[in-house]
Structure 1
Amino acid sequence: MKNMITTCIIFFLMIFILFFASKYIVLTCDKLLDVSSEIEENIVNNNWDESYMLSFELLNIYEGHVANLTLFLNHTDFDNIYSEVIKLSQYSKCKNKDEALSSIHVVKTLINQVKELESISIGNIF
């Protein structure tokens, strides 16, 4: 009887922690998407200095949260995001609009994929 109670407690504790971890990942992705949208607006409006500064803000947010996120998700997803954010900062510095826009779209797509992986659905459970 003790084993069954202990197992149930561990199971519910794990579900509780995974629920909050999922919410943390979604909130972090939302924060990254907000900054990415601001960068995209600045690139479209040719506001290169602001987009360059925001790319570093995006990098700081990313680096601040990536250690916690890789505990729950595949690190290769985050490595791809990191490399695109680095490229984006250099494209903004060089004022290369085509490459900067394509890079920011890749960043947003990768972040949305991570967010979709964390949504609770039948496909993600099985």
Structure 2
Amino acid sequence: MKNTIISFIVFISTIIFISFSLKYLNTISLNLKQNNIKLENNIKENSWEKANKASEEFINQWNKSSKKLALFLNHDELDKINYEITELSYFVKTKDKDECLSRTTKIKFFLKHILELEKINIENVF
């Protein structure tokens, strides 16, 4: 009986952790997506000073949230986003519009991909 109770408590704790982590991931992902769109719009308008500031804000937000995301996400996915953000920052500083837009698109894709990998569905369970 004691083993059953302990197993049940561990199971419930796991479900609660998964729920909170998914909620946190959705919140962070939405915020990053909005900042990425803001940055992309600044780049399209050739507002390089605003784009540089938005890039720095995006990097700061990513650095704060990626440490927590690393607790429950695949590190390879986080590394891909880190790489693209670093590249994006460089291309914003050099005012390379095409490369900047390419990087913002890749970041959008990776954020969406992470969300899809973490969704609770049959495909991800097996």
**Into which bin does the TM-score normalised by the smaller protein fall?**
over 0.9
Does the aligned pair in 2 maintain the 1:32–1:61 contact within 8 Å?
A: yes
Is contact 1:26–1:118 with CA below 8 Å preserved after alignment? no
Where does residue 2 of structure 1 map in the other structure?
Answer: 2
Q: Residues of 1 paired with 2:50 and 2:124: CA distance?
A: 38
Shift of 1:8: 0.5
Query: What displacement does 1:87 show?
Result: 1.1
Unaligned runs of 5+ in 1: none
TM-score, normalised to structure 2's length?
A: 0.95
How big is the shift at 1:18? 1.0
1:74-116 CA distance string (max 9 Å, x none): 1111111111111111111111111110011111111110111
For 1:90-109, list aligned pairs within 5 A. 90-109=90-109
Q: TM-score, normalised by structure 1?
A: 0.95
Q: Which runs of 5+ in 2 are unaligned?
A: none
Percentage identity across paired residues of the two chains? 36
Ranges of 4+ aligned residues in structure 1 off by more than 4 Å = none
Structure 2 CA distance for aligned equivalents of residues 39 and 76 of structure 1: 24
Q: Aligned Cα RMSD in Å?
A: 0.9
Count how many residue pairs are aligned between Structure 1 and Structure 2. Answer: 126
Please give the alpha-carbon distance, in whole angstroms, between the structure 2 residues aligned to 1:99 and 1:13. Answer: 44
Describe the SS at the equivalent of 1:73: coil
